[in-house]
Amino acid sequence: MNYLRDLWSSLSEQTSTTTTPSSSSSSDTSLNNNSTGSSGSPAGVLFNNNGNTELILATGSSSSGGGGSSGLSRLIFSLSETGLTLLLTFLSIKYLFMPLLSNLLNTNNKQTGTNLLPRKKRKIGELIHKCLHLENPRKDDDSYYISLYERYLNKYEKIVADFLVLPEDLDNNFDDIGGMDKLKKEIYESVCFPLKYPHIYEGNSSDSTSIKLRMLPKGVLFYGPPGTGKTSLAKAIAKECNCAFLNVKREFLSDFLYGETEKLVGALFSFATKVKPCIIFIDEIESLLPSRQASYQMHEVSKARISIILSAWDGFETTSDGDQVMVIGATNLRSQLDTAALRRMPLQFKIDAPDRNSRIQILKLLLKNERVSPTVSFEKLADATQFFSGSDLTELCKKALSFPIKELIDREIKSKTSMANIMPRELMFDDFMKARQFVNPSCLEEFEIPMDTDRIIVD
Ligand SMILES: Nc1ncnc2c1ncn2[C@@H]1O[C@H](COP(=O)(O)OP(=O)(O)O)[C@@H](O)[C@H]1O
Ligand SMILES: [Mg+2]
């Protein structure tokens, strides 16, 4: 049923161009009638739309004469030409009424955001209440807040609501990110402070020049090797500023049809303004906005999609509704980002592999609740982990911790004694050195050189 629903949705987009299934000569739609057996009845019907959509109504090979077929296949094979025509006519009607039908089907679709938990709906309702400056907060009235969610969000904004993480549900904060002190300070000053205290940046509202000079940053890019803490930092900002966090992943838009892009991207920004302060975090932003200059073979549809996203972004940037809404992009492949997208993120931070001092701090942080022998030198560990990202160091510690546990497992198996009251021994330097053989550093390769270094404030 879901398959059919998706198919119908996809066909709804092409209602204007798709011919009825019976027009087999169309280049978009083809109809294959495979004669089967002696009856000559069609066994398979295939609609192929630009290679994207296929519907096989009835398939099957029949032995000649069909003597061994099951009752069901005999029923299918015995469909007369008239029956088939009727079926095709029925489907044609559906295709003609696809926009309407698609809307009806979508009301039950999981993508409409109706599967959100009531707690989350209520929370979103509370944010809407605050943003609209409505009076009389009704603290205990769940249904009031849920009704705000239902009434003030359109269908597409409810889809976007699925990507929302509430600040209280975020588990990262700045203290959980080891090292990178200079970078964290820069981020706090240029991103967190304006988000927390927008009034300081608004200046004198009657004087437009002062607003321009003290503009709130609206586009920020984190770029650098994988596992260096870009996502963690974006979440920490949202937590610190008590911001709603819209976690847009690369799948965003991929489940949707081209015709829905505009509405969905528009909804991304309009939803953010309804629950602000809000961070729109776009992970792997180069996959959503790849360079149009670099890929000559990019399909026109993909180029058009990029333009739609960029113009929606512009639209939101120029309205005052966009205050306290910030887009943070993250990428490992900055050079693959569209240059127009890069321009929309003038504040750029290179999140590089942690230096020696940061590695010491990260290791201490990761191991703060573990039993580590006092003989373990964190300085030596840092020396042995050059080019390790924060994520690599996490893996290293996990692997090192597995050795004392493995010893207990072996002991239990060999001596058949219970380990109920026994704890693993302390971690030794050797555990880390053994673990080192299992974890490869991610930041070995020289990271790509930025193209327009003048825009980068932290390096
Ligand atoms: N500086 C750091 N301190 C502590 N943990 C870190 C640090 N950098 C990365 N990590 C850990 O590595 C993992 C991946 O980090 P993430 O923020 O997703 O990296 P990125 O987004 O750059 O790929 C997370 O579990 C995170 O806790
Ligand atoms: Mg990430």
- Give the orientation angle of helix 118-131 with respect to helix 261-274, to 10 degrees: 70
Q: What's at 59, amino acid-wise?
A: T
How many Cα atoms occupy the beta-carbon half-sphere of 344 within 13 Å? 22
Q: How far apart are CA 382 and CA 358, in angstroms?
A: 9
| Ligand 1 center from residue 48 Cα (angstroms) | 45
Task: Measure 426 CA to ligand 1 centroid, in angstroms.
Answer: 25
Q: Cβ atoms within 10 A of the Cβ of 367, count?
A: 19
Instruction: State whether the beta carbon of 331 lies less than 6 angstroms from ligand 1.
Output: no
Q: Yes or no: say if 264 and 253 are a contact pair by the CB < 8 Å rule.
A: yes
206 contact partners, CB below 8 Å, separation of at least 6:
none
Which pLDDT belongs to residue 70?
55
DSSP helix/strand/coil, 281 = strand
Ligand 1 in contact with 235 (CB < 6 A)?
no
From the list 376, 314, 322, 321, the residue with the least C-alpha distance to 345 is 314
Q: How far apart are CA 166 and CA 180, in angstroms?
A: 26
Asked whether 122 lines ligand 1 (CB < 6 A), one says: no
Ligand 2 geometric centre to CA of 330 (Å): 7
End-to-end, the C-alpha distance of the chain in Å comes to 52
Q: Kind of pairing, strands 456-458 and 347-350? A: parallel
pLDDT of the residue at 29: 33
96-133 residue pLDDT tens: 555 444 444 444 444 555 567 888 898 999 899 888 88
Average pLDDT value for residue range 295-300: 73
Cβ(253) – ligand 1 distance below 6 Å: no
Q: Please tell me the predicted confidence (pLDDT) of residue 405.
A: 94
Q: Is the CB of 184 under 6 A from ligand 1?
A: no
210-267 pLDDT, tens digit per residue, is 556 666 778 999 999 999 999 999 999 999 999 999 999 877 777 666 677 888 889 9
Query: Ligand 1 center to residue 319 CA distance, Å?
Result: 34
d(CA 123, CA 168): 10
281 contacts 234 by C-beta, under 8 angstroms: yes
Compute how many other C-beta atoms are within 10 angstroms of the C-beta atom of residue 127: 20
Best residue for ligand 1 mutational test, from 232, 284, 334, 378 (most atoms within 8 Å of Cβ)? 232
pLDDT at 39: 37
Domains of the chain from N-terminus onward: 2-108 (no CATH), 153-350 (3.40.50.300), 365-436 (1.10.8.60)
Nearest-CA neighbor of 197 among 133, 158, 243? 243
Give the residue whose CA is nearest to atom 11 of ligand 1: 391
Which one of 391, 396, 397, 398 would you pick to mutate in the ligand 1 pocket, going by the greatest count of ligand atoms within 8 A of its CB?
A: 391
Q: Return the pLDDT at 26.
A: 36
CB 325 within 8 A of CB 218: yes
Query: What pLDDT, on a 0 to 100 scale, did the predictor assign at position 227?
Result: 96
Q: Taking a C-beta distance cutoff of 8 angstroms, is the pair 142, 120 a contact?
A: no
Q: Quote the tokens at residue 266.
A: 């528009």
With a cut of 70, say whether residue 328 has pLDDT above it.
yes
Average pLDDT for 257-282: 88
Ligand 1 and 362: CB distance under 6 A: yes
Percent of the chain with pLDDT over 90: 42
39 Cβ neighbours under 8 A, 6+ residues apart: 66, 77, 78
Maximum mean pLDDT: which of 44-58, 87-101, 102-116, 134-148:
134-148
